[in-house]
Amino acid sequence: MMRPVHITVSLVLIYFELAAAHSWLEQLSNIASNGSFVAGYGYPRGFVDKGAPSFDQNANVRRQELDGQPEKGGTVFVFGTQRPRQDEILLDVLEWTRDGLGGDRRGFLLPSQNFDDGRCYQLGNGAALATSRKEQTPNALPGQLGSEHELLCETDVRVPDDIQVGKPYTMYWVWQWPNAPGKDPNYPRGKDEYYASCLDVDIDRALSLEQEQLEHPII
């Protein structure tokens, strides 16, 4: 049986804020059978740390009114396939369904959920919701009691049990952030926006909980 995979998403795009230029998945880690995180973090294709000058988070995030945009930050979809294409088209991927019969039948829709997982927050944005969540779920840096750190949003994905071991599994994390008709004079008929990240996961043998913690601890 394959282990579940745990995806965490940067809060740079959550509720009161919207990235003006860059939107991506932040990191990936494994979930052990007891719910703990194991192994080191993985990253999406083409990942560039947002601390790099050309991808400075503060330069690309601005305040936005939510009028006409969905509650809970829109919807996140995760699609999976072991038959990816070099010229993959998002519109083709969006046709995949949970039963695998949608579109060209190369992949599956895995989970779908609100972008806002109800826990995540970003520090320093002055939002009352972020302050409240920080009090409810403090997130100190490892080994630094009393420190503060943003809490990333999470999407939990269970890798299907029947996929081929030893062959990479490609996942497409897709965030839909639409604008309703009649709300923005620039888009009187509304506007649909999608942001996507691609992940390639190596599928190895299944491990017992003891093996997971021994071979792949997260420090």
Domain ranges of the chain: 5-212
Instruction: Give the DSSP H or E segment for 57.
Output: helix 57-60
The three-state secondary structure class of 209 is helix
| Cα–Cα dist 171/198, whole Å | 6
Give the chain's radius of gyration (CA, Å): 18
Average pLDDT, the chain: 75
Least confident of 19-23, 81-85, 87-91, 98-102: 19-23
pLDDT digits (tens, 9 = 90+) for 148-195: 878 888 888 888 888 888 899 999 999 998 989 998 888 899 999 998
Cβ neighbours for 187, distance < 8 A, ≥ 6 positions apart: 179, 181
| Cα–Cα dist 103/91, whole Å | 10
Q: Three-state secondary structure along 130-188?
A: HHHHHHHCCCCCCCCCCCCCCECEEEEECCCCCCCCCCCEEEEEEEECCECCCCECCEC
- Name the pTM for this structure: 0.76
In the chain, the percentage of residues whose pLDDT exceeds 90 is: 23
